[in-house]
Amino acid sequence: MAHGVMLLLLLLSLALALRPALGFYGGSMTFTPGNRFPDGSVEMHFYYRESSRGPCGSQGVWICESGSCGVLTKSEPVQTDRAVDYSWCQSEVHMATNVTSNGPFILNSTGCCWENNVFGVTGWTLRTHADAGRRSDTQSPNRSPVSATVPNMRIPQNCFQRIPLLAHDPDGDLVRCRFNDANCTGCHQHPNIHLHEDSCTLHRENSLDVGVHVFELMLEDYPVSNITVTEENGVSSVSDSSNPTALSQVPLQFVVEILPPSQGCVPGVNKPSFLTPTPLHEDVHHAAVGEAHEITLRAHMSDNSIYDFQVSGPSNMSKTLTSELNGVLVATLTWTPQETDLYRRVPVCFAADSLHSQSEMRCIIVAVAKSRVLSGEAKVTCNDNSISIAVTKTSMDGIDQNWLQLRDPTCSLTSNDTHILGTMSLNTCGTTMDDSGDFIVFKNEINSFENPNAVITRRNQVKFGFSCQYPKMASVSNRYVNHKSDYIFTESSFGTFSYSFEVFTDSSFNRQVDPSRYPVQVQLMDQIYMGIEAHTALPEVTLFIESCKATPEDNPSSTVFYDIIKDGCIKDDTVVIYPSNSTKYDFQIQAFKFTGGFDEVYISCSVILCAKGSSNSRCAQGCLGQAARRRRRDVTQETARHFITQGPLRVSRQTHNAASDDGGFLHMSTSTGVFAGLFVVSIAVLVGILVYNARRTRPIDRMHLLSTF
């Protein structure tokens, strides 16, 4: 019997594997230049990923739409990932051409049909705009923006709030996303989605129907300073950062399957949640040609229903699954870059799948170098509220401390004769916190960086990750578990400065909520008083709050969020700002909670310090109706943006007879009080009548009882 069932499953899987592709699930393209030859031609490499329903294989045929595209050669499609039931598959194709740098050229691919979808979108068009001209800032041809998505994003209808997409540029350009390009009049623009172009983030504006939704985007890169692009024939074009034109365009198309509503949207309960050491969204990993690079993904869900990870990665990346206790599934991704991958920035996206839901999608970049990235020997000291690291100089021979930085480059490293030293609090310098189940883990890293104007380098790359983990059940200081302590930073023009972010008891902003009282218990509609203050020895500075948003978890990048202040503009109608001095920002907001079973709220704000009176600083710009273009920051006039977080605020579950904290009296409306008073009077009158009747009838009852004998 068992053999028969296995045979039936095998035949079913074979039938599914042999069936024709039923629908297009999307595609993405990236390109990078290769060798420049004596005749002036440049080798260009294109990497195209395609997802479809059914067996693997590229449906698209790329042709030259305009310009001199050279002779395009391509590899056979290579499967990168597939569903366990063969319902979808993703493949990658590598294409190469030698082009003469005499102007831009355009490749395109068209086909039919998209997977059956809510709006009936059928045909698709993918267009790639490239130019092999030499950039004046890098002395090399432009490299395209880098992005990808998992093959099949799946989100319950009541849990879709926001999808941050990967938008990385190897040249440091500003990447913008648009729903289509000027030549794609038939491209589908989603009516219920707002696309934040500068951050490449999708925001839900209205409820989405259950079913498959198609997204057709174009990614463009813009220089952040004035550059020229020179062709082989000597013709140059100027890209002005104040009014720039796109250096390239690449497509990013995908589907999102909206599932029926789930019972809730709580990570780890109603949907899979990532655990340490899963990389964070937009992390950059470093790999070397010929050496295996491993990426570990861990996710858990309370009902043990995670069955796979969707992965969008390079063609020869392998995936191995391992089950752990308590509903934890682990995927180990292994990739060995080849010579053709040298200097590539490779996108890797992943999501954990359960039967009725999916985790958030995260995407990272793997940067490929010729040799292994150095990671020296170090001693890490885990203190109550800080991490200290001491890297042995002899283990990193030839490394200059001046070219090393923490995840937040505004935080400084120091050195002595033998060690490179760094100390940071647990919520500054880019330190991230992750929940690994039984432990809370704080992570940071030391990286090397280059002079952006340098053509060559003689320094090795450095990447050194370090972390501290603390058991949840141990006696751990509330200063970093519940209450966020001061955020301390160092910048050359502003010295050492810090921010405090506190919850106060009332509108006087004189008395802070004691750290031992965190999480702060609030009820819906309560007034919450919060204050941010900058602490610096410089007398003439101004504090500017650029943004504040609420999230249901201690993660400012959470896919579920609510804007309170955005681009310097107040977005919540209940916010009241209290006048104060130039380095303080006191405000109140009415308590709320997130739908979907969340009980906690964290508030994260982006803050900047500016020199007082500077007319060109971000502080002087104030509220912007729309997000400002990236501009070159004047380090003498303003600091970098720093994110600070406070919380959690825990919304108490209300009952009908809940006493307040001020004396234990029950508050009620006037009408409720009148009704209650009349009710009490009525009961008293009724009791009096009953007593009176009882006294009258007692002798009669006694006589009746006597007469029965």
- Would you put residue 622 in left (φ > 0), alpha (ψ -120 to 50) or beta? left
Predicted confidence band of residue 45 (pLDDT cuts 50, 70, 90) = very high
pLDDT for the residue 238 = 80
pLDDT for the residue 418 = 81
CATH topology classification for 378-471: Immunoglobulin-like (2.60.40)
Closest CA to 637 of 661, 620, 660, 662: 620
**Which residues of the chain are in CATH 2.60.40.3210 domains?**
378-471
What is the second-level CATH architecture of the domain 482-651? Sandwich (2.60)
pLDDT for the residue 376 = 58
For the chain, what is the mean pLDDT?
79
Q: Mean pLDDT: which of 196-205, 312-321, 387-396, 455-464 is highest?
A: 312-321
Q: Which of 153-167, 312-326, 367-381, 550-564 has the lowest mean pLDDT?
A: 367-381
Torsion sign, CA atoms 301, 87, 153, 96: positive
Q: How many CB atoms lie within 10 A of CB 120?
A: 9
456 pLDDT above the threshold of 70: no
Both tokens of 597, joined, read 């079973």
Residue 253 half-sphere exposure toward CB, CA atoms < 13 A: 29
Task: List, for residues 15-41, the tens digit of each pLDDT value.
Answer: 334 334 468 999 999 999 988 888 888
Question: Of all residues in the chain, what percent carry a pLDDT higher than 90?
Answer: 36
Beta-carbon contacts of 330 under 8 Å, excluding residues fewer than 6 positions away, are 296, 297, 298, 321, 322, 323, 324
Average pLDDT over residues 339-368: 93
Q: Which of 165-179, 220-234, 336-350 has the lowest mean pLDDT?
A: 220-234
**Which residues of the chain are in CATH 2.60.40.4100 domains?**
482-651
| Residues in the chain, overall count | 709
Both tokens of 389, joined, read 């690291």
Average pLDDT over residues 476-503: 64
Prediction pTM value: 0.65
What is the C-alpha separation between 181 and 177, in angstroms, rounded?
A: 10
Task: List, for residues 294-341, the tens digit of each pLDDT value.
Answer: 999 999 998 778 999 999 999 999 999 999 988 899 999 999 999 889
The phi, psi pair for 691, rounded to 5°, reads: -65, -45
Terminal C-alpha separation, the chain? 85
Predicted confidence band of residue 655 (pLDDT cuts 50, 70, 90) = very low
